[in-house]
C-alpha cells in the first residue's frame, strides 16, 4: 500500500465503522509501501511472495503466510517482491466503550505502556487463525460482517492478553530507537519538498547529524541511502501522476523534482523495470 501522504490524514473506513480493508497486488499503482505512520493500528497479511518490511527501524523478511501487527505511531514501510498482501487499518475507538471491562488493558496499549509483538504469525496457532478469520470476513463482507469483525478483533486482543503476548514499552527499546524522531523529520521533509532541489547536506542538517553518519543511520533504518529513498519517493509520486493521461511525461518529471527528463526515465526504469511511457500504457490496459 503506497501512502504518499507520509503522515496519513485520510479517514479509515467510516465514522460509524472506523476500519478499512485493502487488497494489494503488483498491478496496483499503490503497491509500493513508502515509509509512513498513522494514528490507527494495522494488520498486514502476506498472501503470496515476499515483503521486505521495516517496522520502527527493524527489518523483517516477510513471506507467504506471515501476519504483522503495526501499532499506532510506528514508522513502517517496505518493498514487496512479487507479493500479494492485504491490510486492515482500524481505529482503536472501534473497541472502546463507555465503561467496557476491556478498556483498561486496551488503554495501556493506546498509551504505549504495553506493546504487542510485531509478528502475529509466530504466536500460538489459535491467535494466527483468529487473525486470518478477520481477513476472510473482510474479503467476503457478507451480511452482518461488521458484527463478526468487531467480535474477532476482541477475540484477537483477548488471546494476546491471555497468552501474555505483550511487553512493557521500554523493554523493546532498541539501538536506533532514539533516532526515530530524526528519521521522521527527514522523511516528512522529503514528503513536503520532493518537488524542489534536496541535497544530502540539507537532509543531514535536518537530522542534526554529520552527512557520513547520517547516511549510515538512514540506510540502517530504511534499507536505502537518503538519495535512493528520495528518488524512490519521487518515482512513486510520478506513478500517481502518470495515470493522468493529459500530463506530458516531461511535466510529470518536473512535477516530481527531476530537472532532467532523461535522468527521470533512467531512474524510473531502474525502479519499475519499464519506461514511464510503458507504465502509462500498462495502466491503460489495467
CATH of the domain at 43: 2.60.120.280
pLDDT, tens digit (0-9, with 9 covering 90-100), for 111-122? 888 889 999 999
How high is the pLDDT of residue 254?
Answer: 96
Look at 24-33, 193-202, 208-217 and tell me which has the smallest mean pLDDT: 24-33
Residue pair 106/96 in contact (Cβ under 8 Å)? The answer is: yes
- Domain holding 35, by residue range, is 19-172
Give the residue-averaged pLDDT of 270-275.
90
Whether residue 130 is predicted with pLDDT greater than 80 in this model: the reply is yes
Whether residue 223 is predicted with pLDDT greater than 90 in this model: the reply is no
The CATH number given to whatever domain includes residue 275 is 1.10.10.60
Q: Are residues 227 and 129 in the same domain?
A: no
Q: Are residues 168 and 234 in the same domain?
A: no
Give the residue-averaged pLDDT of 14-24.
88
pLDDT band per the 50, 70, 90 thresholds, residue 21: very high
Element (H, E) at 168: strand 167-168
pLDDT, tens digit (0-9, with 9 covering 90-100), for 155-206? 999 999 999 999 887 654 554 556 778 888 899 899 999 999 999 999 999 9
Residue 139 lies inside a defined structural domain of this protein? yes
How high is the pLDDT of residue 6?
Answer: 40
Residue 277 lies inside a defined structural domain of this protein? yes
The larger pLDDT score, comparing residue 28 to residue 8, is at: 28
Residue 10 lies inside a defined structural domain of this protein? no
Q: Are residues 136 and 225 in the same domain?
A: no
How high is the pLDDT of residue 70?
Answer: 96
The larger pLDDT score, comparing residue 245 to residue 66, is at: 66
Residue 14 lies inside a defined structural domain of this protein? no
The larger pLDDT score, comparing residue 279 to residue 14, is at: 279
Whether residue 286 is predicted with pLDDT greater than 60 in this model: the reply is no
Residue 9 lies inside a defined structural domain of this protein? no
Cβ neighbors of 222 (< 8 A, separation 6 or more) are 35, 54, 77, 183, 229
Whether residue 217 is predicted with pLDDT greater than 90 in this model: the reply is no
**Where does a domain end: 134, 157, 172?**
172
How high is the pLDDT of residue 12?
Answer: 65
Give the residue-averaged pLDDT of 231-243.
91
Q: Are residues 168 and 266 in the same domain?
A: no
pLDDT, tens digit (0-9, with 9 covering 90-100), for 71-124? 998 889 988 999 999 999 999 988 987 667 889 899 999 888 888 999 999 999
Element (H, E) at 115: strand 114-115
Phi, psi (5° rounding) for residue 126? -70, -30
Q: Are residues 181 and 278 in the same domain?
A: yes
Q: Are residues 72 and 136 in the same domain?
A: yes
Phi, psi (5° rounding) for residue 195? -80, -15
**Where does a domain end: 172, 196, 212?**
172
Give the residue-averaged pLDDT of 28-42.
84
Max Cα–Cα distance, the chain, nearest Å: 61
What is the torsional sign of CA 280, 269, 4, 260?
A: negative
Q: Are residues 152 and 191 in the same domain?
A: no
How high is the pLDDT of residue 251?
Answer: 95
Q: How many domains does the chain have?
A: 2
Q: Are residues 37 and 82 in the same domain?
A: yes
Whole-number average pLDDT of the chain: 87
Whether residue 9 is predicted with pLDDT greater than 50 in this model: the reply is no
Residues in the chain: 286
Amino acid at each position: 500500500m503506497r501512502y504518499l501522504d507520509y503522515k496519513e490524514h485520510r479517514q479509515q473506513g467510516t465514522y460509524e465503522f472506523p476500519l478499512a480493508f485493502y487488497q494489494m497486488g503488483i498491478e496496483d499503482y499503490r503497491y509500493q509501501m513508502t515509509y509512513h505512520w498513522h494514528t490507527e493500528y494495522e494488520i498486514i497479511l502476506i498472501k503470496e511472495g515476499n515483503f521486505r518490511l521495516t517496522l520502527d527501524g527493524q527489518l523483517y523478511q516477510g513471506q507467504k503466510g506471515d501476519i504483522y501487527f503495526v501499532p499506532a505511531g510506528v514508522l513502517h514501510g517496505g518493498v514487496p517482491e512479487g507479493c500479494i498482501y492485504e491490510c486492515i487499518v482500524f481505529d482503536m475507538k472501534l473497541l472502546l466503550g463507555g465503561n467496557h471491562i476491556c478498556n483498561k488493558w486496551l488503554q495501556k496499549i493506546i498509551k504505549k505502556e504495553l506493546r504487542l509483538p510485531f509478528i502475529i504469525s509466530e504466536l500460538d496457532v489459535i491467535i494466527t487463525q483468529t487473525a486470518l478469520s478477520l481477513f476472510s470476513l473482510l474479503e467476503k463482507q457478507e451480511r452482518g460482517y461488521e458484527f463478526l469483525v468487531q467480535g474477532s478483533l476482541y477475540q484477537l486482543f483477548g488471546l494476546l492478553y491471555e497468552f501474555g503476548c505483550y511487553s512493557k514499552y521500554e523493554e523493546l527499546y532498541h539501538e536506533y530507537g532514539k533516532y526515530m524522531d530524526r528519521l521522521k523529520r527527514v522523511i516528512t521533509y522529503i514528503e513536503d519538498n520532493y518537488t524542489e532541489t534536496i541535497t544530502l547536506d540539507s537532509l543531514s542538517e535536518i537530522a542534526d547529524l554529520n552527512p557520513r553518519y547520517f547516511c549510515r543511520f538512514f540506510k540502517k533504518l530504511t534499507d536505502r541511502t537518503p538519495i535512493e529513498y528520495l528518488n524512490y519517493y519521487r518515482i512513486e509520486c510520478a506513478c500517481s501522476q502518470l495515470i493522468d493521461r493529459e500530463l506530458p511525461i516531461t511535466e510529470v518529471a518536473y512535477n516530481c523534482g527531476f530537472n532532467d527528463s532523461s535522468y527521470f526515465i533512467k531512474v524510473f526504469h531502474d525502479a519499475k523495470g519499464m519506461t514511464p511511457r510503458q507504465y502509462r500504457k500498462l495502466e491503460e490496459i489495467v
